[in-house]
Structure 1
Amino acid sequence: MIADIMLEVVLPVFLLIAVGSWMQKVFKLDLYTLAKINFYCITPAAVFMSMYHSNMSGELLGTVTLFYAIYVLILYIIGSVVSRSFRMNKGMKAAFNNSIMLDNAGNYGLPINALVFRGDPLASSIQALVMSLQSLLTFTYGVLSIQGAKLKGNYRAVIIGFLKMPVPYALLLGILFQAWKLPLPTFLSMPLTYAQQSMVAVALLTLGAQIVKYPIRLYRLDVYISTFLRLLIGPAIGISIVLLLGLEGIAAQALIIASGMPTGVNSSILAEEYDNEPDFAAQTVLISTLLNIITITALISYAKTF
């Protein structure tokens, strides 16, 4: 099973990431434009279509939301304890907590989910919901934590940024259209489907182009601690919550795999935007993504036992 997962899921993902990295080195891609295409077009389309075609019940939606709330709360507590133990300053504490709480549920998690579950509507909708919750966390806690450390207030930008996010609107519309059984006319369903189908390739190429920006530095202990918490403790927490909630089957598998994603690129983007430990943030993204080759393979294999 391990060999099959490596060949059929992990290798295709990292092959596209490698191509994106190569293209960035050779052609110097416009990462700003790529990020905007992903954020404002492809990801909202994928989220909407995943929820629209979902057979997720209201009860399961609430359960996934509860899972995620418990999950990030435990990570926050662990991050706060560790950062206090190492006597990190406020800025570093914010960057450290973001590195373990803000994972790559979008342009890495969605493709992994699509490959593992072969586009299963329930699995896709669970990952889309997790990604939407992750986006909300990024533009609320993620920004607030840094602003609290660097700007001492002035949260107007947080509110504006939150209202500009397309993913929550796509999530809500997808749920409403699915609940009310509203038909999509062809002139809407076809472009949304095309955008959704492009998601895996475009998201992974973009991720590869983004992470190659950062040179690897192998001397930072705090990066390894963050990576350990993100790639090993995160999944352990996810598995524990799944067992606590009594989840089984596709729902349990999707949530366990979702808990094993590497640090999200957004944590690095926020660090650069507010000049808050950008080198640390970049290293956690790069190193956790590379090491995830090993951890996600083992996690997928374990999740399949549920």
Structure 2
Amino acid sequence: MGVLLALANVIVPVLVVAGTGFLLGRIFPLDPSTISKISLYGLTPALCLATLLTTQVSGQVGVTLVAAYVVVCLLGAGIGGLLTPRVPGPTRRGVMVSLAISNSGNMGLPIALFALGQAGFEQSVLIFLASVVLGFIVGPLLFGAGGGVGKAVIGLFKLPAIWAIVLALVMRLFGLQLPTGVMRGVEMLSGATLPMVLLALGIQLGATSRVTVNRPVITASLLRVFGMPVLSLGIGLLFGLRGVPLQALVLSGAMPTAVNAFLLALEYKGDVRTVADTVTITTLLSFASAAVVTALLPFVPQ
């Protein structure tokens, strides 16, 4: 009964919006990359700015939550590498990146809002911000990007969302506020973010060609959507998280591999096929895993 209720109240709204994007992507020759750029460079910075300026998450809880999330992702990547010892290096690194970079934005934020309310959504925004930073550092390093950490950091600071985070933190530090008109505009953009990213996700799936299922893809997919929630629970408890922050962390573990993992594989000439197939399979599986995890969240220690 709990799973059915989670499906009805949490997953169905996400399916409706993403399904609309899927149909549009099948019917019309839409460009997923253009829509993704609108979300990444236009709407997501507004979401980060508005949320960080208004969030009630305490600094200590936020730092602990982000630290636990980073540890979960790094451990997941390490486990993925250990469980694929006999595959070629590029494929193994593709599995590791698929586990390290979760879709805490397109999937994670809408589901967190429906499952945990505004408080859980604010916690999940912190996780999303951590996933962006982590993804654009760990991904290039694992794929062997030229320039190492330095190039990864330079690329990171080209993202408007990072500057929105910096601006919001500075404003909170000095007790500053945006002018009312500007803040209302930022809030309008922020409110458009979740529908747009779900539409982009659906369009991306609608444009996906045939998926190849092999052992590395199966390993990465099952670990991503079924193993990571368990790992998230264990690490969260170890870090002393309880209640909504722990629930947000566990729910983030049920999210699929992010499309950014595929983009990074493409950019740095990694195993694009393995990562792309993992993105597709984990996205489909995550609807079921998110429903199950959502139904079990009331049993998470308070």
Do both share a fold (TM > 0.5)?
A: yes
- Residue 164 of structure 1 aligns to a residue whose secondary structure is coil
Deviations 1:264-305 (A, max 9, x none): 111111222233222211111111111111110010111122
Which amino acid in the other structure matches residue 71 of structure 1? V
Shift of 1:19: 1.1
Other-structure match for 2:260: 266
Q: Within 5 Å, which residues of 2 pair with 1:95-114?
A: 95-114=94-113
Kept after mapping to 2: 8 A contact 1:50/1:124:
no
Kept after mapping to 1: 8 A contact 2:104/2:124:
yes
Which amino acid in the other structure matches residue 93 of structure 2? A
| Cα gap change, 1:245 to 1:169, in 2 (>3 Å) | same
Which amino acid in the other structure matches residue 251 of structure 2? I
Distance in 2, Cα, partners of 1:246 & 1:36: 37
- Gap runs ≥5 in structure 1: none
Report the TM-score, using the length of structure 1 for normalisation.
0.91
| Cα gap change, 1:276 to 1:213, in 2 (>3 Å) | farther
Other-structure match for 2:11: 10
Q: Percent identity at matched positions?
A: 27
Other-structure match for 1:289: 283
Which shifted more, 274-283 or 17-26? 274-283
Shift of 1:245: 2.5
Shift of 1:218: 5.2
Shift of 1:173: 2.4
Which amino acid in the other structure matches residue 36 of structure 1? K
Other-structure match for 1:177: 171
Shift of 1:65: 2.2
- Residue 84 of structure 2 aligns to a residue whose secondary structure is helix
Shift of 1:58: 1.6
| Cα gap change, 1:298 to 1:21, in 2 (>3 Å) | same
Other-structure match for 1:253: 247
Deviations 1:235-263 (A, max 9, x none): 00101112222322211211111121111
Other-structure match for 1:140: 137
Other-structure match for 1:208: 202
Shift of 1:157: 4.6
Structure 1 vs Structure 2 CA RMSD? 1.7
Which amino acid in the other structure matches residue 5 of structure 1? A
Shift of 1:179: 4.1
Distance in 1, Cα, partners of 2:228 & 2:252: 10
- Find the partner of 2:186 among 169, 188, 192: 192
Matched, 1:164 2:158: yes
